Amino acid sequence: MTTLNEKVDSTLISDKNSEKSKIEEEQLEFNKTLIIYLLKNKNEKKIENFIESSHGDVNYFTNEYNPLYQLIMYYKRNKNDSFLTLLSFLASHGANFNIEWKNKNIPLFDLLNLDLICIKKALIIAKNNGANMYQCDKEGKNLLMRAIESRLDISIIKYLYSLNYNLSQQDNKGNTIFLKAVDTYDTNSNNKTLPYLLKNFIYNNKTIINFILMGKNQQPSSNSDIQNVIKIHNNIINIKNNEGYNALLLAVKNNQNSEILNMLIDLGAHFNMLNENSTNLIMTAVQYNSLNSFKYFLNHNIKLNVKNENNDTLLMIATKNDNLPMVNLLLYGLNPNNETSNIKKKNTTSNKKIIHELKKNIFNNLKGKFKSKKKNSLKKQLVSENTINSFDSNKTFKKNTDDFSSNTNEIYNDDDDDITLNIENSKDNISLDDSNLLNINEQNNDGDTALLIAIKNKNSNIVNNLVICGADTNLSNNKNETPLMAAVRSCNDKIFDQIIEAQDSINHINDDHETALMIAIKNNLLNFVLKLLKKGADITIRDNDFRTPMMNASIYLSSLKYILRYENNTINLKDKNGKNALLLAIENKNLVNANILLNYSLKLSDLDNKMNNALMIACKLGLIEIVNNILILLNNGNNNDNNNYNNLNNNNNNIQIHIDDKNINFNTALMKACKYGHEEIVKILIDNNAKLDLKNRDGNTALLIACKQKQLKIINILLEAGADINCYNNEYINPIIEICNNNLFDSLENLFDNYSKKVKFNYDDQLSLQEHMNECFINIVENGRYQYISYFIDNGFIIDVSERNNNFYNLLSAIMTAFKNGYYKAVELILSQEQFKEVSSEFRQTNALIYACRNFKTVGIDLLLKYDFNVNTKDEIGSTPLIEASSNSSFYNFIKEFVKRGAEINVINNEGTSALLNSCKIVNNNIFKYLVDKGANIYISDNEGNNALMYAACYGEVEKMSYLLKKRININSVNNDGDTSLMQALKVQKLTSIKYLISHKADLNIINKKQQNALVIACLTAFDKEINIDYIPIIKSLIQKKSNINIPVDEYGNSLLMFFIMKNITSMAKYLIDYSENIDLNKKNNLGYNAMTYALKCNNKEIVQYLLMKNVDIRNEDDYGNDMVMYSICCFRY
């Protein structure tokens, strides 16, 4: 019932602990009546007379009883035309617009949520009636801030701004009015708010006084002087919020246009302002891809080599963001007067020598900041390699510089590969001021340059421009990665070609001891590999794994022919694991490379650090083709005639391995193939005379390994080839034991059927081996393998179970498991053996018969009775076979047999349940009658107080109920919870039992320990989740029989009528009202609410009308003084 009260939409908030005084009661009555008058649009004169005659305080309450609150909420729902009139009327009578309601809202701020046509008028009404227009809400925002944030119409902004708010005031996040306006500029109404505020900026007193003094003193002043006064004294525009942004920084972040930036600067915004991350204006513009702001500041004397905390420069950040226009602006500059660009098409008539000398002079003047390219590259791409800045340091800020060279791509065409300096104008285009030169080769904390970042981002256009402008292609980062290595990793042909052409050293080694060639090989980039080899890449350098390019090529590349052409190809060298190129190719399943390497002068006798040869590795991985090829080499020996390989070098070194060679763990190639389940290779090795019974370091043969790995087919192959079936390893495990341990019973069947004469079952001379055989036998019994048990017994297997040793109890447990799993044939075979008679005797005293009865195992019961099982055994809960069998109607004959064998009839289990009580659950009456005839106690109750009548009622056994009532069992007896048989039948919805008990005059008004009677239980059961239609007649019958309908149905004290109303079961609610003589319509629950209250809250108009027809008291108040009239106003949907 908790959820029912939660679902009710409660709009009234009351303080249950507050004391009601006479003044409060009078005030509450005043407010309720006033709210009704206001919402019902009563005549103003009548309302005024009521207010004056009542002397009430309209601001007394700060909750829903406040008239101003109800008026605003009502307008939001209904958009009433008389709202402003009523608001003005209420304001004239002292309504407080600055009060804080219990929901923390303020009426003054709620006015901003009205319709646009009402907001300004409502604000004027509030102001004219004394409202504090400068109040702040819980977030520290004043009314103007909230209006800007809500993106209200400019007319409302203008009105509020005219009230002269404190422009330096900050909210809880540190935002001022201007910061709010800047932040919402792009989405504000027609973008008018921010320009209006800036154009109508109100300077502080210090600034105004300075202007007055300058005028009074007739001090000559330029625009620069005026701006300096503003910058010094006008701090409002530079106030920062909690994130460290002032208005100018925020405008830059939001990519505002130059008009806004000019206005902010003219109002004194500082250029050197930093946010909390020490990021300045130009850095912010680059970081947020604000191209407008970036162009604007680039046109002024901004330092281009500023860095952030990671030491990223502007160029690096623009590159990270893949912002090509910004990168080009930084590299080539921007001419705000649309003059000729710094970069022009190559002048084909220019003398190459003059160009070279000019570049040389430029580099000397720039003090060696940038490194020159090779001459051949410069002839193709000659430009200001030093990324020269041509900005005029003497320029001042200007207004209305809206249009710079807006389309950067018109100035710098990315598709033009042939770009050079304009020689004639080079002096004009190049600024030699070191402080304003862009250092293109700066490195951040990771050691990355802009070029490295561009390569990693795979942006070929930016890479091209950086290379042209002099980016150093030999600089490496903190991981010693060069641009060439990064280009290889990018897998971008265009970038790779650009870098390899420009980079001097191609054999640089990074922290992982890799070269560009190794990286290309590992990424299978054959085209890159060929270009690097042509460029002279070193093929003898080793990586951290001591692998050369040759070794890596054997793993990653589809062909080794390009590296194998070199004399120093390192074909016979080994890595740190002792593997040469051939072993690596086989290990990584590169068959093409492996076959190629087999054609070269390799030593097959080469072993890795674990002494594995090529054959072992191929057998482990199941590489049949490689295995065959190696075996061909071995079988041919020194014979030069080899049809499979034309170029085979058959020297002695190439054949010095044997098919049965062992590695460091004494494993052979055959053992490897068995372990990893490669049956075809096992056959090939056997055909090539591999030895079957060699042992490894653990004493395992190939057969034992196959058994351990559950390789069924390989086991059969080895047995057919003559593998020793009685071999055993260092732990005294033989194939039979291993097969049993792994439950490979199909293989065991094959083994016994075909090799039983060879199998040894008893090991008197090897006690450890015998113990394992005992475990094997017990495992077979546990799994109910009748045939294998027979094999063991028929072949004379003997297990020692004397003196109740471990074997005794393990076998007993195995028999019990087999029985529970239904392996009765196997169980009977064990029970019938003389050598197991002591175990069988113990088994007859277990709870196996109880288990069989409880789980309806008739075959198992017959088997146990055949071997004289004890019928009075008890299990862990005290049940006997008779108790369990009594709940199954088909076990009548078994019950008779149990009784015949001396089963105790009135014994009870740990829950107090007897065989008779269990028999009351089933339809068949034979067992019930039989037990009664045999003296079963019909008056017994279980531990919870449930007697036989209750059991029968819960299972709908009317015939048993009739018999028990005749034997004078009390129809109204209760159990430990106070429930009667009728109550229990109602809970489990047994209609036949319910009707029978009611017809036999069961007491309907007995109250259980939950304070529920039969009617309450019936209703809760019938309407719990889905309505049970069959219960409706029962409930109506209980109502007609004058059940007490006023008792609570739950811990909240809700009556049945409230229950039906909250459940929206209107028909039953009306039936209850009509046919209950003693129903109390005004009864309250523990929360102080009555049925009418819930009808109003649930908006159930039908029940409301019905209750009114029944003369319910509408002036009846809840615990907080609310009558039904108040509820109808506040709760009913209009």
Do 96 and 126 reside in the same domain of the chain?
yes
pLDDT at 447 over 90: yes
Domain boundary among 609, 631, 653: 653
> What average pLDDT does range 307-328 have in this prediction?
93
Q: How many other C-beta atoms lie within 10 A of the C-beta of residue 94?
A: 12
User: Under 8 Å CB-to-CB from 297, ≥6 apart: which residues?
Assistant: 252, 281, 282, 285
* Domain assignment of residue 735, yes or no: yes
Q: For residue range 1018-1066, list pLDDT tens digits in order.
A: 988 888 777 778 888 888 888 888 888 888 888 889 988 899 888 888 8
Do 688 and 800 reside in the same domain of the chain?
no
Do 646 and 736 reside in the same domain of the chain?
no
Choose the weakest-confidence range: 629-643, 680-694, 905-919, 971-985.
629-643
The continuous run of DSSP H or E covering 358 comes out as: helix 352-365
Percent of the chain at pLDDT exceeding 70: 81
Domain CATH code at residue 638? 1.25.40.20
**Structure tokens belonging to residue 800:** 């020692």
Q: For residue range 549-604, list pLDDT tens digits in order.
A: 999 999 987 668 888 888 888 888 999 999 999 999 999 999 999 998 888 766 78
> What average pLDDT does range 765-769 have in this prediction?
77
Do 739 and 784 reside in the same domain of the chain?
no
* DSSP code of residue 373: P
Three-class secondary structure of residue 273 per DSSP: coil
User: Under 8 Å CB-to-CB from 758, ≥6 apart: which residues?
Assistant: 725, 726
Choose the weakest-confidence range: 404-418, 669-683, 719-733, 1027-1041.
404-418
**Structure tokens belonging to residue 715:** 């086991």
pLDDT for the residue 810: 95
pLDDT for the residue 393: 32
Percent of the chain at pLDDT exceeding 90: 45
Single-letter amino acid, residue 785: R
Domain span at residue 154? 23-199
Report the alpha-carbon distance of residue 703 to residue 723 in Å, rounded: 7
Do 299 and 397 touch, CB atoms closer than 8 A? no
Radius of gyration of the chain (CA): 49
Do 1 and 1052 touch, CB atoms closer than 8 A? yes
pLDDT at 740 over 90: no
Q: Choose between 898 and 395: higher pLDDT.
A: 898
> How would you label 932-960 residue by residue, b for 16+ Cβ within 10 Å and e otherwise?
beeebebeebbeeebbbbbbbbbbbbeeb
* Domain assignment of residue 1083, yes or no: no
* Domain assignment of residue 572, yes or no: yes
**Structure tokens belonging to residue 943:** 């531990």
Do 707 and 616 reside in the same domain of the chain?
no
Q: For residue range 236-253, list pLDDT tens digits in order.
A: 888 889 988 888 888 888
1016: Cα within 13 Å, side-chain hemisphere: 24
Looking up tokens 């109502």 gives 1039
Single-letter amino acid, residue 507: N
Do 325 and 349 reside in the same domain of the chain?
yes
Do 735 and 827 reside in the same domain of the chain?
no
Do 759 and 727 touch, CB atoms closer than 8 A? no
Report the alpha-carbon distance of residue 334 to residue 341 in Å, rounded: 8
**Structure tokens belonging to residue 620:** 């482990």
> What average pLDDT does range 122-133 have in this prediction?
94
Do 745 and 788 touch, CB atoms closer than 8 A? yes
Do 604 and 623 reside in the same domain of the chain?
yes
Domain boundary among 653, 675, 700: 653
**Structure tokens belonging to residue 682:** 């096992």
Do 299 and 444 reside in the same domain of the chain?
yes
Q: For residue range 35-62, list pLDDT tens digits in order.
A: 888 877 777 788 888 887 777 888 888 8
pLDDT for the residue 279: 64
Do 396 and 459 reside in the same domain of the chain?
yes
- Short-list 168, 151, 410, CA closest to 268: 168
> What average pLDDT does range 15-25 have in this prediction?
55
Overall number of domains in the chain: 5
* Domain assignment of residue 297, yes or no: yes
N residues, the chain: 1134
Do 143 and 126 touch, CB atoms closer than 8 A? no
Q: Choose between 883 and 238: higher pLDDT.
A: 883
> What average pLDDT does range 159-188 have in this prediction?
88
Do 5 and 1052 touch, CB atoms closer than 8 A? yes
* Domain assignment of residue 897, yes or no: no
* Domain assignment of residue 1113, yes or no: no
pTM for the full predicted model: 0.63
pLDDT for the residue 211: 58
pLDDT for the residue 602: 66
The whole-chain average pLDDT of the chain stands at 81
Q: Choose between 16 and 943: higher pLDDT.
A: 943
pLDDT for the residue 275: 55
User: Under 8 Å CB-to-CB from 372, ≥6 apart: which residues?
Assistant: 359, 363, 378, 385, 470
> What average pLDDT does range 1115-1130 have in this prediction?
70
Q: For residue range 449-482, list pLDDT tens digits in order.
A: 999 999 999 999 999 999 999 999 999 999 999 9
* DSSP code of residue 111: G
Q: Choose between 359 and 1077: higher pLDDT.
A: 1077
- Short-list 793, 754, 765, 763, CA closest to 777: 793
Do 384 and 453 reside in the same domain of the chain?
yes
Choose the weakest-confidence range: 268-272, 342-346, 605-609.
342-346
419 pairs with which residues across the strands? 345
Single-letter amino acid, residue 907: V
* Domain assignment of residue 55, yes or no: yes
- Short-list 1130, 1063, 1075, CA closest to 1103: 1063
* Domain assignment of residue 99, yes or no: yes
Q: Dihedral of the CA atoms 67, 73, 76, 77 (nearest 10)?
A: -110
Q: How far apart are the first and last CA of the chain?
A: 28
Q: Which pLDDT band holds residue 227 (cuts at 50, 70, 90)?
A: low
Report the alpha-carbon distance of residue 1015 to residue 1038 in Å, rounded: 6
> What average pLDDT does range 653-658 have in this prediction?
67
Q: Choose between 993 and 391: higher pLDDT.
A: 993
pLDDT for the residue 25: 78
Report the alpha-carbon distance of residue 1052 to residue 107 in Å, rounded: 36
**Structure tokens belonging to residue 312:** 């990223």
pLDDT for the residue 1075: 84
Domain boundary among 608, 624, 653: 653
818: Cα within 13 Å, side-chain hemisphere: 27
Q: For residue range 349-378, list pLDDT tens digits in order.
A: 333 333 343 334 333 333 333 333 333 333
Q: Choose between 458 and 1108: higher pLDDT.
A: 458
Report the alpha-carbon distance of residue 629 to residue 676 in Å, rounded: 20
Do 160 and 281 reside in the same domain of the chain?
no
